[in-house]
Structure formats: structure tokens, C-alpha cells
Structure 1
Amino acid sequence: MNTYMRRAALFAAAVSLATGLAACGSAKQSGDSTGSGSGGEDGALTIGLLLPENQTARYEKFDRPLIEKKVKSLCPDCKVLYANAKQDASAQQQQVDTMITKKVNALILDSVDFKSIAGSVKKADAAGIPVIAYDRLAEGPIKGYTSYDNEYVGKVQGKALLDALGGKASKGKIVMMNGDKGDPNAAFFKRGAHSELDGKVEIGKEYDTVGWAPDEANKNAKGAISSLGKNNIVGFYSANDGMAGGIITALKAAGYSKLPPVTGQDAELAGVQRIITGDQYMSVFKPYKPEADAAAEMAVTAARGEKLEDVATDLVDSGTNQSIPAVIITPVELTKKNIASVVSNGLYTVQEICTAKYKDACDAVGLQP
């Protein structure tokens, strides 16, 4: 079980540093090779970057470019080798082997399956390659970790759903659509949500969604509606926006005159647009830049053989290791009331959100160019 040892002043300083340093260039964009390993002929460092899947929009749109940009700002001669596992744990293990063969100087790893990747982390460690766990706390001898307070994410979602239900909480059942069991964060989201929901609302059905797949969430939502009866369902807990989209499609197909509240996470563009129209009640906005900056800074620091404790502001425990240096970032609830925050924080422009289809809804919430 993770335990967070908060050091608030240091954390604030680190986030300020991570978001304040100026960027100067971006890494080359290619599938899984943007440079050679072992530092290259010019002695520059090589950082490996392995992301878990591409169904969730954030990884290719935000995480990858932000990490690559920050690495280059910290180390202009550094190179980044990138690969995406596309939700295949075996493929990711092979990608780690490739990174070891190419002799990267540090590896940023967002695991598909936090347990099965442990052997690969051990291989990298044995090869002298420090592994920084990104977004998901992988098992094995990782050297550092950066993510959000994931149990708090679940609490935010659960509380928001109760707020949306109000007096209806006791007049029906909710359906819980949790994430993939192979993702350790899913367990924290689930635990946090249950801590808010248990005893306050009846949970009619609960699912662990393979691969976080919207299609799987859609199928499960249809099953729940058929089993419980649409008039008996007052709300849906969805652990992320992609699944929320699948759930909402099922709700509309079932003929609801007014959709029950649906939660989400990640502030995906489609999720933001659904919040504006009222189809989705909320999401959780997790500022990607501080997390990406922290991962890049930890990787470059580790690659240089310097102490991660100088970068980290927290300590966490994994299933296999204790007191891992970490940077833990606090997420933000996103509803219609503060929807403009995704614009002010640079996540999207008004033009990206407010296409012709959403113009009236944007006008109603005060989002205008």
C-alpha cells in the first residue's frame, strides 16, 4: 500500500520549478527511435520513454511531447527513445529489453501491468539503468516515481457524484465503472471513490474495465441498464473520460429523457465538451505539465548519477520497495463552474473546445474566443 509523506514547502517549490523553467526545443518525433543509446558519440545522454497505451488521448497529445520538451530544456544534447505498448504488457516487456540493448541512460516507464513489468525493471536495474515510474507505480527496483494523489482522485469523483445526486442518492442505485486491474492507479481511484460512496448510496453493479476501453464500458453499461432497469439507476461512477463516453452512448441508446450524472477523469477534449453540454457531470483535471516535468527532471538527474532526493518532494512505498523518492501532484475537480480553467492552464484553446457543434453550449457557460 502506498503511503505519502508530505513535505508541503518542498513540494510547492518543486512544482514551481517544474512549471517555471523555460523550454528550449523539442525532441525528434518518431515511432521508437529518436537517437542511439549509450549517450551517442557526442557523449549526450539518452532517455527512454515507454507509455502504456494510445486509447486515452492524453499520452500522445500531452505526456509524450511535454516530457520530450522538458528533457531537451534540461539537457539540449539529450536524446529521447520512445515507444508505446498499446495496452500490451508483453510488448512493453520487449520494449524494455530494447531500451536495455540500446543502453539508454535512464528510463521513464508508464507500465501496462504494474506487477508483470517488475522482472523487466530488475533487468534494467541490473544493467545500470535507473527506472522512473511515471503515472503508475510499477513494482521492482524503480528509482523514482511521479504521479497524482490517486486515492484523492477517487474521493473527488465520489464526492462529486454525491453532490450531483443530492436527494436522489437514496432513491435508486449507482453503477461503478472502475479501471483496468493491471493499472495500480485503478485500485486507488476505486478505494477513494468507495470511501465517499459506501453507506451513502446503493451500488447496484460494479465492473473492472479491461484496458480502460470505452467499448467495454459501453457493453457493461448496457448490461447494467438491462439488469437493474433504467428507472432504478440514478448515477454512474466512471473512473475516466473515455469510459464515460461509452457509458453516455449506452444511456442515450436506452432512451433516457434526462441523463443521470456521470463522472470522469483526465479532462479529455471530448469529456470537456460533454461537461459543457451537460451529458457528463464532471471530470478530474490533472495538470500534465508538472507531472511530465517532474518525470523528465528525475530521469535526467538519475542519468547524470545525481541524487533524486534533490528533486523529489515525497516518499512512497510500492509492493516491492520502500521509501521511493517521488513527486505527487494534487488534481482538481472539473465541472461547468470552473470549465474555463482548462483554457487558462493551457490545456485547450476556446477554439478547440467551442466548435460549431458546441457554440451554444459554450456561450451558455461563458466560453468565448
Structure 2
Amino acid sequence: MFDKTRLIGATALTVALLGGTAASAQTAGTVAFLMPDQASTRYEEHDFPGFQAEMENLCPDCTVIYQNANADVALQQQQFNSAITQGAKVIVLDPVDSSAAASLVQLAQSQGVKIIAYDRPIPDVPADYYVSFDNEAIGQAIAESLVAHLEETGVPKDVGGVLQINGSPTDAAAGLIRDGIDAGLDNSGYTTLAEYDTPDWAPPKAQEWTSGQITRFGDEIVGVVAANDGTAGGAIAAFKAAGVDPVPPVTGNDATNAALQLIIAGDQYNTISKPSEIVAAAAAQVAVQLLNGETPEAETTLYDTPSQLFVPVVVTRENIKEEIFDTGIASAEDICTGRYAEGCAELGIE
């Protein structure tokens, strides 16, 4: 297991931070955990297991409902209605469409059901709480990391530029990441050649768009700021299919196993370490407090919603061993397979 205390740092995940009484809660109830899509493997592999484990720890008599909408707004609404019908008193919602989710929040609150916005905010109607990593800080961090790398490697600023691959246009969190990327690129001196909002965060869409930009700009592309590891993987696949060698530095976000392997191989430049289990555990603590009729404390407010935002960590080949493997977020057994074994050995990952 990874060391949560070390990873969270200044925003330490403690019961005291969220009000101090969740760990002693005995109230039983039904809580729903509704996730948005299957384009990323994180929800089944990390978010839900982390949420379920913390719920079992804090409220063993509680019932947990888990559903994934597979990027379907109508399906998520059905799942939401079903959760209420099954007696859910708290719903943790990561919306497919942040705007469409406003009506879900209103419906739930009219029936006394509490809503925890998770990962993606719901800007139009305040939820009861919001738990996430700081998405704007993520975008700015990956962009600034790329800019620093380009400067350190002597890439000129007056020739070519970067591609910007954003997330889904229906995801408010993607908008925050985009804003952060913009801030990280502003005044960098590097031109943004073209920008794309990726429908449903789908890697094939990012790959298709990047292929077109390679045809359009060729070797003028000096780097790619991709908003997550899936879109980064799509971009990298496009460069490889076009025979581009080496692949320009590409950013990412989520520290998926595939991205960690690409970083080790030198195909992806960076990602963001944000173990989903941390945010999921925080959401479980808030859920139990809301079940008990308590008011969780908040360190900030976003979209008029009390919020807990955790600090992201940029991971590159230089610190991947320390941040990912030494902390137990990932294991060499899972990552250092096949063609990645040589890279792991170079980095002392074993």
C-alpha cells in the first residue's frame, strides 16, 4: 500500500481535517458512488476500491452502490434515479456532463439527499461538498514542467510550437485543467500551434486529431500538452504511426500504469501523481459525516461549494522511482514487464 500521509503533504487526509468524528460514526445508510466513464481504467482500479475500503472502515453496516455511466448522460441519470429509489441518502457524483448534472443535484436536494461532487465540479448548482485534486493546478503544473524541459534542452522559441489537447468539453474539470494549461503556457514564448477539446476524453479521438496536426505542422511540433494520460497515449501513438522519432515531449495526468511505462521508456515526458484512493477515501469520510447529519469542514470554496482540493505532484523520469515506486503507488512487478524492464533497470526500479 502507498504512504498516504507522505503523498498528501500539507493537505493531510485526516478525520480531524474533515470534522473529527467520521471514524467513530455508527449510523448505517446507503451511499451511491456514481462514476462517469470507462475511457480511463482508474475508476474500477483505484477510485471505487479506495472508496469502498474507507466506507467499510468507517461504516461497515452501510450499503454502497457503485455504477459507471460509460460516458452516457442519459444512463447516468437513470443510475442516479435508481440510487435514490434504492434509498441512497448520500450520492458521490462524478458527472458525465457537468452542466446536465445541475438538475440531478436539484432533484436530490429536493428529496433530502446529499450530493458530493467528485473530481469534476458542478458549477451551476452548489453541491453539498466537492472533493478533488486541484485541477487548475494540475494543468498549470504539467504545462510549466514541459516549458522548463523545452528551455533546458535548448528548444528555440521562435520556431514551431506546441499542440494542446484538452479534455471533454462537457467536463468542468477539463475546463479547469485547460485554464491551468493556458496559464502555464502564457508568456512562455512557445506558440500554441493548435488546440483540441477531446470528446469524452477518448484516446482514439486524440490520436486522430494529432495525426492531422502532424500532417499539418510536421517537425514544427516541439511538444504536446495533453490533459490526461489517455489523450497523451493517443498523441504518442499518432507520432509513432507517422514514424516520428524521437517523439516530442508529451505531458499527461493520472499516473496510469500505461503512462508510467511510457515515461520509463522515454515516450511520455510527464504525468501527475494523484492516487485516486486518496480522494475516494476523503469522499467516504465526508459521506459518513453527511449521513450523521454533520457539516464537514472545508479548506476552500469552489463554485459556491465547500471543497477539499488536494495538491498534485508532477512525475517525470527523473523522480518516478521516488514518487511512484518508493511510495508503493505502483510496483515494479506490474510496470517493469517486457520492453520496459530495461528502462526500469536504468532507473534503479526493482
Of 234, 238, 241, 1:250 maps to 238
Identity fraction in percent: 38
Q: Does 1:325 align with 2:298?
A: no
User: How big is the shift at 1:108?
Assistant: 0.5
TM-score normalised per structure 1: 0.86
The residue identity in structure 1 corresponding to 2:329 is L
C-alpha contact 1:107 1:132 (8 A) present in aligned 2: yes
Instruction: Pick the aligned partner of 1:283 from 271, 295, 310.
Output: 271
Matched, 1:168 2:140: no
The alpha-carbon distance between structure 1 residues 108 and 249, as it changes in their structure 2 partners (threshold 3 A), is: same
Work out the CA distance in 2 between the residues paired with 1:249 and 1:18. Answer: 45
Aligned equivalents of 2:237, 2:11: Cα separation in 1: 43
Q: Deviations over 1:38-95 (max 9, x none)?
A: xxxx983111110001111111100001001101100111110111000111111111
Structure 2 counterpart of 1:191: 179
CA distance in 2, matches of 1:201, 1:279: 21
- Aligned equivalents of 1:363 and 1:248: distance in 2? 23
| Contact 2:50 2:278 (C-alpha < 8 Å) held by counterparts | no
RMSD: 2.0
TM-superposed CA distance for 1:104, in Å, is 0.7
Q: Are 2:106 and 1:122 equivalent residues in the alignment?
A: yes
Cα-to-partner distance string for 1:3-49 (whole Å, 9 max, x where unaligned): xxxxxxxx947514499x9xx9xxxxxxxxxxxxxxxxx98311111
| Runs of 4+ in structure 1 over 6 Å off | none
Verify: 1:212 aligned to 2:201, yes or no: yes
Show CA shifts across 1:261-314 (max 9, x none): 0000000000000000100000011132321111001111111111122xx3x2
Cα offset, 1:189, TM superposition: 1.0
Partner of 1:367: 349
How many residue pairs end up in the alignment?
330
Kept in 1, the 8 Å contact 2:164–2:195? The answer is: yes
Deviation at 1:103, TM superposition (A): 1.6
8 Å CA contact 2:161, 2:190 repeated in 1: yes
Change (3 A) 1:302 1:96: same
Alignment of 1:234-245 (within 5 A): 234-245=222-233
Instruction: Say whether residues 1:347 and 2:329 are aligned partners.
Output: yes
Instruction: Give 1:249 deviation, angstroms.
Output: 0.7
C-alpha offsets along residues 317-355 of structure 1, whole Å, 9 cap, x if unaligned? 32xxx2x22211000000011112212333211100111
Question: Where does structure 1 lack aligned partners over 5 or more consecutive residues?
Answer: 1-10, 25-41
Shift of 1:188: 1.1
Greater shift, 328-337 or 165-174, is seen at 165-174
Aligned to 1:15: 13
Secondary structure of the 1:165 match is: helix
Q: Is the 8 A contact 2:27 2:291 kept in 1?
A: no
Contact 1:18 1:294 (8 Å CA) reproduced: no
Contact 2:325-2:349 within 8 A present in 1 as well: no
| Higher mean C-alpha displacement, 286-295 vs 260-269 | 286-295
Rounded Cα–Cα distance in structure 1 between residues aligned with 2:16 and 2:214: 45
Q: Corresponding residue for 1:300?
A: 288
1:151-189 Cα deviation digits (max 9, x unpaired): 110111111111221231412121111000111111111
**Stretch moving more, 101-110 or 259-268:** 101-110
The residue that corresponds to 1:67 in the other structure is 51
Correspondence for 1:44: 28
Structure 2 counterpart of 1:334, from 296, 302, 315: 315
SS in 2 for 1:337: coil
Counterpart among 151, 156, 161 of residue 141 in structure 2: 156
Aligned mates of 2:243, 2:310 — CA distance in 1: 39
Q: Is contact 2:167-2:199 (8 Å) kept?
A: yes
Residues 27 and 292 in structure 2, CA contact (< 8 A), matched pair in contact too: no
Determine if contact 2:15/2:285 at 8 Å carries over to the other structure: no
Q: 1:145 is matched by which residue type in structure 2? A: Y
